[in-house]
Structure 1
Amino acid sequence: MYCIFFYSNGQVCQNCVPKHQTITGSFYTNECLTEVGKFYQNPRPGTGTRGLRILQDNARPHKTKLVREKLVAMKIVELDHPPYLLDLAHCDFSLFPKLKKHLSGRKYESQAQIGSAIFQYMKGIPAEDYKKYFSIG
C-alpha cells in the first residue's frame, strides 16, 4: 500500500507502507506528513508548509489527535471532506483508476519496483491534468 500526496502541478511524495503494517496516526504523522514538509522546503523556503491546504478523507488515522497537532505545527489548513460529496474527490474517480489500470497485469519483483512504477506514471501526467483534479465545477 502507498500513501500518495499530490498538488495542482504534480506529485508531492509517496510513502510505501511496510508489509503487514497498517496506517496509523503515528505512521501518517511521522512518515507521510514529514515527507510533505520536506517537499515544500525547497520551493517555499520562506514559508514551507505555512498556509497549505490539505484535503484528506475521513479515515481514522487522518483524524487522530497526533495528526491534528502535526498539521497545526506545520501550519497546514485541513479542508473539511464531507462524507458524501463526491465531486470534491476528483482523484478518486479520475487519477486513481488510471493509475490502477496502468499497474494492473504487470509483475513486480519488489515494493521498490512498484514504487518506481507509481512515481514514473505520476511524473508523466501533464500538469494540466493535475489542475483538473483540483478544479470544482
Structure 2
Amino acid sequence: MDMNHIGAAKRQIIRRFLWFMLIDILMELKFGRKCKSEVDPFIYCGQLENTRRALRNRRIPVVFLDDNAKPHRSRQTMQKIQNMGWEHLEHPPYSPDLSPSDFYLFRSLEHWLRGKKFRTTKEMRQSLTEFFDSKDREWYRRGIHQLEEQWKKVIKSGGEYFDY
C-alpha cells in the first residue's frame, strides 16, 4: 500500500478510525457481561450493531479495521459489516505493527499493568477502569493518527522487523 496514492480525503477518513469495539468489550468486562474470550460471531455481530446505533448520528463514514480472530472473519461478521455499509480494511495476518490496539493501546496498558498483581477479578476490573478513565479523547485520537505513520514505517522497512 503506497500512502502517496491515497488521496487526502481517503487519509482523512482513515484518521477517523474508532476504537469503539474496544470500548464495548471493556464495558462488558466492567459490568460483568461476556468477556472477549467468550465472543463468538453472534456476540461480535451484536457488538457491531450496538456500535452502529451509537454512531448513527455522527454522519461520518466508518472505515473498520479489526484483527484476524475467527469471530471477526466469519461469514456472518463479514456480511454484517457489508450490510451496514462500512468499508472494511483487511488486516494482514501476524501484523501487530499495523494495529493501533497493538502498537499504541496495549503498549500503554502494558506499562500501566507492570508490577501490578490482582487477587480478584474485581481488582483487575477496577484497575482497567482506572486506566481507561485516565485517558481523554485526545489520547485515543493520537493513537489513531499514528496509524498512517505506522503503515509508512512498515512499507519503508520492506517487510523487515522493526521496533514500534
TM-score by length of 1: 0.64
> Is 2:118 the partner of 1:107?
yes
The residue correspondences of 1:119-130 to structure 2 (distance < 5 A) are: 119-130=129-140
Identify the residue that residue 97 of structure 1 maps to in structure 2.
107
Correspondences of 1:44-83 after superposition (within 5 Å) = 44-45=56-57, 51-83=61-93
Q: CA deviation at 1:65?
A: 0.8
Query: Matched residues in 1 for 2:47 and 2:96: separation?
Result: 27
Residues 16-60 of structure 1: per-residue CA shift (max 9 Å, x gap): 5559x654xxx1x3323423432442453486xx84221112233
User: Whole-Å Cα distance in 1 between the matches of residues 101 and 83 of structure 2?
Assistant: 27
* Compared CA separation, residues 115 and 76, structure 1 to 2 (3 A): farther
Q: Highest CA radius of gyration, 1 or 2? A: 2
- Out of 8-17 and 33-42, give the one that drifted further: 8-17
- Alignment partner of 1:37 is 2:49: yes
Structure 2 residues not aligned, in runs of 5+: 1-16, 150-164
| Residue equivalent to 1:118 | 128
Question: TM-score, length-normalised on structure 2?
Answer: 0.56
Residues 107 and 37 from structure 1, CA distance in 2 versus in 1: closer, same or farther, beyond 3 angstroms? same
2:13 matched to 1:7?
no
The 3 A distance-change label for structure 1 pair 9 and 128 is: farther
Equivalent pairs, count: 124
- Greater share of helix: 2
Pairwise CA distance, 1:74: 2.7
Farther off after superposition, 127-136 or 75-84: 75-84
Cα distance in 2 for partners of 1:36, 1:98 equals 25
How has the CA–CA distance of structure 1 residues 109 and 9 changed in structure 2, closer, same or farther, with 3 Å as cutoff? Answer: closer
**Cα pair 2:20 2:51 within 8 Å, conserved:** no
**Structure ranking higher in strand proportion:** 1
**How big is the shift at 1:92?**
0.8
Q: Percent identity?
A: 21
CA distance in 2, matches of 1:82, 1:41: 28
> What is the deviation of 1:93?
2.0
Q: 1:95 to 1:36 in 2, by over 3 A?
A: same
